[in-house]
Amino acid sequence: MKKAVVNGQEISGEAVGFELDRLVRFYMSHGMTMEEVKKNLPKLEEKALEQAIGAKLLLDRAAQIELPVTASDVDAEVQKVVMQVGGEENYKKALAAQHITEAEFRKELEKGARVNMLVNQACAHVADPTEEEVAAFYEAHKSEYVEEPKVLCQHILVKSEANDLPEAKSAAFEKIRAIRERILAGGDFAAEAREHSDCPSGREGGSLGWFGRGMMVPEFDKAAFEMKKGDVSDIVTTQFGYHIIYKADEKGGGAQTLVDVHDQIKDLLRHEARGRAMDAFVAELRDQAKIEYK
């Protein structure tokens, strides 16, 4: 993948990776499958590089005009991050893992908040899509709005790796077997997950949310889709260890109505309109910058 230098400063691989991750998550939330992501990866990488260049130009511009960001603005951003990572303790661990102090992290959040203010200024004239525009888009793309079958599951994991000693594997298997027996005897699945699961989802009672085919490793995927709603699975072995699964619900899939996808389409159209406004704004910044590719 090519690299870019903006006003003498090279765009880092981390910056491009960040933009690529945002692109993939956005398009997958609007119906793009993982297979389509892989097929379009070169184009997505090019777009991520251009967005990273734009982000650099916006950061520089926001710093130049010194948009006002208060300490309380930064406090609010910190709290968002704390909630996202699951609490104050995890927040501090994440900072330590990245070898960054809280003061340095707050400085980065301040820069981000300043850029957000700049973006909002550049997009202030962009109106929300009308109901007629949402309906017209749905009619033009109706065939694309087909929901795949999905399942809603909880799981409990007891880790066991390929290079574990036989006695460690046996102990892990015995632990998951005992957990399963307690659940089948009337025990609470979520409580057992919170107490014993080695997966981070254990904090949420083992909840994995809704997921479609191909989103989990093959052994887990097969078990989750073949079992009946309301059942607890047999012990499922994957590369991560031993699992038991509770299937809370399932959806058969099928065509989605305008009501089903209304907010999704409105968000997409709003995103595209703001994107066009930002493209025009960034184009002006690009005209004033020195950008080299290598």
Q: Please, what sign has the CA dihedral across residues 19, 84, 230, 193?
A: positive
Pair of tokens at residue 25: 């998550």
**Do 57 and 186 fall within a single domain?**
no
Q: What is the DSSP letter of 215?
A: S
Q: Which letter, b or e, does each residue of 106-131 get, where b requires 16 or more Cβ atoms within 10 Å of its Cβ?
A: eeebbebbbbbbbbeebbeeeeebee
Chain centre to alpha carbon of residue 39: 19
Q: Are residues 134 and 13 in the same domain?
A: yes
In terms of domains, do 174 and 129 share one? no
Q: Which two tokens stand for residue 198?
A: 């080695």
Range of the domain at 230: 149-252
Residues 175 and 199 in one domain: yes
pLDDT, tens digit only, all 294 positions of the chain:
788 999 999 999 888 998 999 888 888 887 788 888 888 898 999 999 998 998 899 988 888 887 788 899 899 999 998 888 888 888 888 889 888 999 999 988 988 888 888 889 899 999 999 999 999 999 999 998 988 899 999 999 999 988 889 999 999 999 999 999 999 999 999 999 999 999 999 999 999 999 999 999 999 999 999 999 999 999 999 999 999 999 999 998 889 999 999 999 999 999 999 989 988 998 999 999 999 998
Q: Are 248 and 211 in contact (CB under 8 A)?
A: no
* pLDDT score of 161: 85
Same domain, 216 and 178: yes
169 in the same domain as 73: no
Indicate the residue among 221, 237, 252 that finishes a domain.
252
Token couple for 97: 């893992």
pTM: 0.55
Phi, psi of 247 (to 5 degrees): -95, 105
**What would the two tokens of residue 276 be?**
């066009």
User: Which contacts of 23-29 are long-range, i.e. CB under 8 A and separated by 24 or more positions?
Assistant: 23/47, 23/48, 23/51, 26/271, 29/264
> Same structural domain for residues 262 and 242?
no
Residues 108 and 87 in one domain: yes
- Do 60 and 124 have their domain in common? yes
Domain count, the chain: 2
98 and 64 co-located in one domain:
yes
Q: Are strands 236-238 and 9-10 parallel, antiparallel or unpaired?
A: unpaired
Q: Quick one: 266 and 223 in the same domain?
A: no
The CATH number that applies at residue 30 is: 1.10.4030.10
Q: What is the pLDDT of residue 37?
A: 86
Give the three-class secondary structure for 31: coil
Same domain, 282 and 162: no
